[in-house]
Amino acid sequence: MHELGSRTSPKRVAYVAAALIALVALLAGCTVGPQSGTPVAPPEPVVQVTQNPESGSQDVNPVSPVSATATEGTFTDIALVNAEGRAVQGVLSPDRTTFTVGEALGYGATYTWQGTAVGTDGKTVTVDGGFTTVQPEQTISANLNIGDGREVGIAAPIIVQFHDTVEDKAAVEKAMTVTTTPPTPGSWAWLPDDNGSRAHWRPQNYWAPGTTVNLDARLYGLDFGDGAYGAEDLSLDFTIGRSQTVIANAPSHRMQVVRDGQTIMDIPVSYGEGNEPRNVTRSGIHMVTEKHEDFLMSNPPFYENVRERWAVRISNNGEFIHANPETLGVQGSSNVTNGCINLSLGDAQQYFGTAMYGDPVEVTGTSIELSAADGDIYDWAVDWPTWQSMSALA
């Protein structure tokens, strides 16, 4: 009888070892590897959309650059719309990566981006977000004294009449550009407020005949100061006509009309009597501003609503060149008027036909100089250095 020993058979050893290895592997898998059933997040779309201004921006200036740009992709469609859903004009670049707004926006308005962009990975994202524009406390508009395309005389200034006070005159002046052909030295000047601020641009000397003039005033979206902004842009193109100047020397009792260097009229007239300030024809360079075949004139207490013929206004203080048959007997020999320049009916009608807005009328030989007290256009009564000093950028 054989005695049973303690030795284990080789097969059993191999089996146990294999089981141990499997158990270790299983335990290792439970503690190190991913858990069964956990979802893996897909990669984010690669396309990125940036907006200028950033989404959520407030008080954006309505003329600031506005755009949207796609990187690592292109726009499928893209638009900026206002609160009413109207799409703002804009241009999408040929490679469809940049959309640039092409018009000024409104004040106090909300704008929203709409559209989609697709990335180089084929994945699509939605374009959204938006911004609001600044809401001014008030907007200020302005008028111009010259009509677009008009021909004017050699002394005509450009006048920008604002409808309220402009606080930041320097900013406004920088935004108003005058371009002339041929180049013409000139300057802006701010005259005292008259129902609002007023800026005048005049050349240093009379315009050269045939000069073309352009005004480009970028006022919309401009901060005028004190909570006010410009209501609109202004633009103007006009031409300087022939050279015509009236030479009016009061002591001579005559008046000459000089066109392009030639005297085309030399006529007897009567100037202001000069017995008191109100009856003095002002000395200085006046300017033709209006023409009326018939005009009712008043100068209380002397007369009221008197019909005069062929009246050419040369200042806002009531000075005209006009016909006056009642002074016909003294025209050429005595000054008896209340300040106007009186002509015969025939001479007045002839001169009326030659006169143009902006023609200078050079009056000399009287006791009072033309000044700011005489109306809104006394630009040529101001010497050039003083005029330049009246610029907000001086």
Given 200, 253, 286, 340, the catalytic residue: 340
Residues paired with residue 284 on neighbouring β-strands, in sequence order: 363
Residue 322 bears catalytic tag: yes
Instruction: Give the span between the Cα atoms of 145 and 224, in whole angstroms.
Output: 21
Given 30, 200, 286, 322, the catalytic residue: 322
Residues 6+ apart with CB under 8 A from 16: none
Instruction: Give the span between the Cα atoms of 51 and 132, in whole angstroms.
Output: 13
Residues paired with residue 283 on neighbouring β-strands, in sequence order: 369
Instruction: Give the span between the Cα atoms of 265 and 255, in whole angstroms.
Output: 8
Q: Which of 208, 270, 248 is nearest to 362 (CA)?
A: 248
Which tokens is 245 given? 């100047």
Give the single-character DSSP code of 283.
B
Map residue 245 onto helix, strand or coil: strand
Map residue 27 onto helix, strand or coil: helix
Which residue has 């006010």 as its token pair? 228
**What is the CA 258 to chain-centroid distance, rounded?**
37
Q: Which of 79, 66, 75 is nearest to 48 (CA)?
A: 75
Which tokens is 95 given? 């490679």
Q: How far is CA 121 from CA 43, 117, 137, in A?
A: 10, 11, 48
**What is the CA 293 to chain-centroid distance, rounded?**
36
**Do the beta carbons of residue 109 and residue 83 sit within 8 Å?**
yes
Q: How many CB atoms lie within 10 A of CB 293?
A: 9
Residue 2 bears catalytic tag: no
Q: Where is 228: in which H helix or E strand? A: strand 228-230
State the catalytic residues: 322, 340
